[in-house]
Amino acid sequence: MKLLLPTTFVAVLLFIPLSPAVSQERRPLFPAPVKTLVLLNGQRFAVEGEVVVDRGRVIFSSGERLFSISLSDLDLDRTAQENGILRQTPDPAPVQPLEDPPVAEPKAKSRSAETALQTISTIGVTGREGERRTPRERTNPKIEDRWSFFAGLSSAAESNINSEPEPTADYGVIPSAGVNYRNRGTRGTLEASYAAAMHSYMETDSWDRVSHLLELSYEPRWRGRWRSETIAEVSIKGSDEDRDLSDRYILIQRFKFRLTDAAQLRFNTAYRRKLYEDDPGADAHNPYAGVDYRHSFASGLQWNLGYRWEENRAETERRRYERSTVSTELTVPLSSKSFLRAGVRYRDQLYPERIVRDLDTKPFRRDQRWLGSLSLSRNMRDNVALAVDYSYEQRLSNEEDKGFDGHGLSFSIIRYW
């Protein structure tokens, strides 16, 4: 029965008919020709041919690809300056209906495949659970409405699902669904999303559950090089980077600084509260802070390098630790619809109140973890996304019988509206 349900689910997702496209009224972005576009985040595009505005979207060709971005993401002043255009009028607004308005058209769907994959990765249904994808600066976002929905199905195979020296292999099926609300106003962007997933594994019962993820973020629209973003997150029966099941409540404050048109620094501070249903002694206050550097290349390639420090203030002394994480990730566009991600993380974790009795020097427990990931995602038919994720994790420890390694492989398909 478990094998029959996924097959039926995938068939339903793939063969729901698409909404027909409806033509839009267009107009040039500027009266004069445009050769370069500059976004508010500093990203630049070399333009080939005409640049037009269509219902609040800027449509143009660059590098033999057709792009569509939101007009609110474009830095009109810098674009005009780059092209030697003197702007004497206010920012162009989205096209308004003519005296004889066109026939009402169906709403365009906003949830890009990249964003849907980001959501279900966070809730733990692609790749290693609890490992949040690093958001990619999208160069070709879809038309954005206020509401969007997605449904997905993932199959995951783990060589060591319990993260123990004696590995237990397992296979699971995880259907998921979610809804997103996004409002891009003149003062900022408000976004809220909810997703739920049902985890079912063949060999073990401890990982079977229904998990929930609720996120709320606000990013005010600032001028200049600085940006700010505030994020609140609630995860129920989710798994964190330690592969522990818990309820988590997180508040994140992020500041972004544009160094150059292609480079950006992000400063992150956060407070996380973790609650464990079966182990109250592990309940913890978990503040952390970090910085990461992001560089976007004209080819679409993006490189990230980050550092994070955190402290886990658990109820019991044995569960308290201090941890540093260094990470790097490379995103390579294989085509306009396919992306390859490769990442490596190193974690150094010290338990300052947990003594290893067999050690005469440096007796406190210390772990080192290596995590590697490889992900291939592809957008299909403008409303279906596929993803294949591989991960490897190894833990080394000065405490006997605490080391392990494991492999994970998952396949996901997402249908969004």
Side chain identity at residue 306, one-letter code: G
Looking at residue 91, what DSSP letter applies?
P
Read off the pLDDT of each residue in 402-417 and give the average, rounded to a whole number: 91
Query: 10 Å Cβ neighbour count for 71?
Result: 19
**Pick the residue with more confidence: 382 or 235?**
235
Q: In whole angstroms, what is the distance from residue 199 CA to residue 278 CA? A: 18
Rounded to 5°, the CA angle 311-317-322 comes to 20
Using DSSP bridges, classify how beta strands 48-54 and 263-275 pair: parallel, antiparallel or unpaired: unpaired
- Tens-place pLDDT, residues 133-173: 444 444 333 445 588 888 999 999 999 998 899 999 999 99
Q: 177 with 170: CB under 8 angstroms?
A: no
Longest dimension (CA), the chain: 86
Average pLDDT, the chain: 80
Assess whether pLDDT exceeds 70 at residue 265.
yes
Q: How far apart are the first and last CA of the chain?
A: 28
Q: Is 154 helix (H, G, I), strand (E, B) or coil?
A: strand
The band of 125, judged by pLDDT with boundaries at 50, 70 and 90, is very low
% of residues, the chain, pLDDT over 90: 45
- Tens-place pLDDT, residues 242-258: 888 899 999 999 999 99
Does the pTM surpass 0.75? The reply is: no
Q: 124 with 245: CB under 8 angstroms?
A: no
% of residues, the chain, pLDDT over 70: 79
**What kind and span of H or E run contains 120?**
helix 113-123
Read off the pLDDT of each residue in 86-106 and give the average, rounded to a whole number: 41
Q: Phi, psi (5° rounding) for residue 318?
A: -65, -20
The band of 60, judged by pLDDT with boundaries at 50, 70 and 90, is confident
Q: What pLDDT shows up at residue 89?
A: 45
Assess whether pLDDT exceeds 70 at residue 417.
yes
**What kind and span of H or E run contains 86?**
none
Q: Phi, psi (5° rounding) for residue 382?
A: 65, -5
Q: Is 266 helix (H, G, I), strand (E, B) or coil?
A: strand
- Tens-place pLDDT, residues 302-348: 999 999 999 999 999 999 999 999 999 999 999 878 889 999 999 99
Q: What pLDDT shows up at residue 42?
A: 72
Read off the pLDDT of each residue in 356-381 and give the average, rounded to a whole number: 87
Q: How is residue 45 written in tokens? A: 């595009």
